[in-house]
Amino acid sequence: MTDRFADYGPPRRVSGGLRARSTRGAIGVSWWSRRFLEVLESFALGTRLTRGRSYARAGQVVRLEVAPGVVTAVVQGSRAQPYRVRVALSPFPAALWERVEADLAGQAFFSARLLAGDLPVELEEVFVAAGAPLFPTGVSDLDQWCSCPDVAVPCKHLAATFYLLAETFDADPFELLHWRGRRRVDLLDRLRALRTTAAAVGVTGAAPVGRASGASPVDGASGAAPVDGTGVVVPGRTHPTSSTVDVAGAARPLGGIPAPPLPEMVDVFWSSPVPLPDRPPVLSAGPDLLLRQLGPPAPAIGGPGLVERLRRAYRLLDGGTDR
């Protein structure tokens, strides 16, 4: 199909529009933004994608906002009135998010990376295992709409929105998770709470996540006496095993391991209760890690423009190049 609207003339110039950081080549530098753009680029729409990149780099996107389940944008075209754009993607239900959060909190590696403002590549596998791919798998997953007269989907205004959205994910990866239904502050607060609860389980033997309050350990089984929620040893009772308690989070590897008598713990106190990997995961951080942790500043102090100026300065100080 030819682009019947190519004769409308060049787009009207925009003052203060959102301009893509990439001035040439591919847009999107992080693994998550590139994975997101794979869907758009798989549509093989030729000139519409090319013109969409041009719109994104020229600053034709006036506004872009991310909310759970929907991204809205305003894009200036050749007409006087800007076009309104909407890209909808079904957010994950609360029950699925709770399952994912429990899995993430169960591994310190995920919690450390997320709390540092980064998305580990293994995160995608967690969502796939939960039966909910983090990224759209095809055009049918996205509900796309633009107020322009072009019947093609996506049009160049939608394509420009996609490219700017990918760079939004580069700047703040939590915007991708926000689109799927979980805000940064809610996710991180939940991970901290789960990690704190799991740590309490390992230290005091308190009821873990998912266990009904007031439930008592199993009596009459073999093993050492457990400690109740007050830190007092309960005579005649044993530690609950993984078959009787729904252990969650970081306490999962410790389920069913009885605590040895106190004198025997002296020599093994600093030993790990479970085998550790030969090569633990490596935490890598780029020069703009702090910017991702803080999130976008308020418009009164510069907004996204301030973030971009700081990011370029950090790259230059780190010995990189400003592209």
Predicted confidence at residue 61, as pLDDT, reads 93
Give the distance, in angstroms, between the CA of residue 270 and the centroid of all CA atoms in the same chain: 34
Helices (H), 42-181: 47-58, 94-105, 108-115, 123-129, 156-171, 174-179
Percent of residues, the chain, with pLDDT higher than 70? 62
Predicted confidence at residue 224, as pLDDT, reads 43
The predicted model gives 62-82 an average pLDDT of: 93
Is the residue at 86 inside a domain? Answer: yes
Predicted confidence at residue 321, as pLDDT, reads 54
pLDDT at 194 over 80: yes
* Angle formed at CA 270 by CA 268 and CA 273, multiple of 5 degrees: 70
Predicted confidence at residue 252, as pLDDT, reads 47
Is the residue at 247 inside a domain? Answer: no
Is the residue at 218 inside a domain? Answer: no
User: Over the stretch 128-174, which tens digit does the pLDDT of each residue have?
Assistant: 999 899 988 877 888 999 999 888 788 889 999 999 999 899 888 89
Structural domain range at position 46: 19-188
Give the distance, in angstroms, between the CA of residue 42 and the centroid of all CA atoms in the same chain: 23
Take residue 267 and report the two structure tokens written for it: 């020599």
User: Over the stretch 218-271, which tens digit does the pLDDT of each residue have?
Assistant: 344 444 444 444 444 444 444 444 444 444 444 444 445 555 566 666 666 666
User: Over the stretch 202-233, which tens digit does the pLDDT of each residue have?
Assistant: 555 544 444 444 444 434 444 444 444 444 44
Is the residue at 207 inside a domain? Answer: no
Please give the torsion angle defined by the CA atoms of residues 93, 73, 306 and 119, in that order, rounded to the nearest 10 degrees: 30
User: How many domains in the chain?
Assistant: 1
- Cβ contact 322:314 at 8 Å: no
Give the CA diameter of the chain: 86
Is the residue at 132 inside a domain? Answer: yes
Predicted confidence at residue 29, as pLDDT, reads 81
Is the residue at 229 inside a domain? Answer: no
Is the residue at 320 inside a domain? Answer: no
Predicted confidence at residue 236, as pLDDT, reads 43
Residue 115: pLDDT band (50, 70, 90) is: confident
Is the residue at 204 inside a domain? Answer: no
Strands 83-88 and 70-75: antiparallel
Exposed, middle or buried by CB within 10 Å (0-12, 13-18, 19+), for 84?
A: middle
Higher pLDDT, 294 or 42: 42
User: Over the stretch 174-187, which tens digit does the pLDDT of each residue have?
Assistant: 999 999 999 999 99
- Cβ contact 99:175 at 8 Å: no
Predicted confidence at residue 187, as pLDDT, reads 92
> Element (H or E) spanning 311, and its range?
helix 303-317
Predicted confidence at residue 43, as pLDDT, reads 63
- Count helices and strands (H / E) in the chain: 10, 4
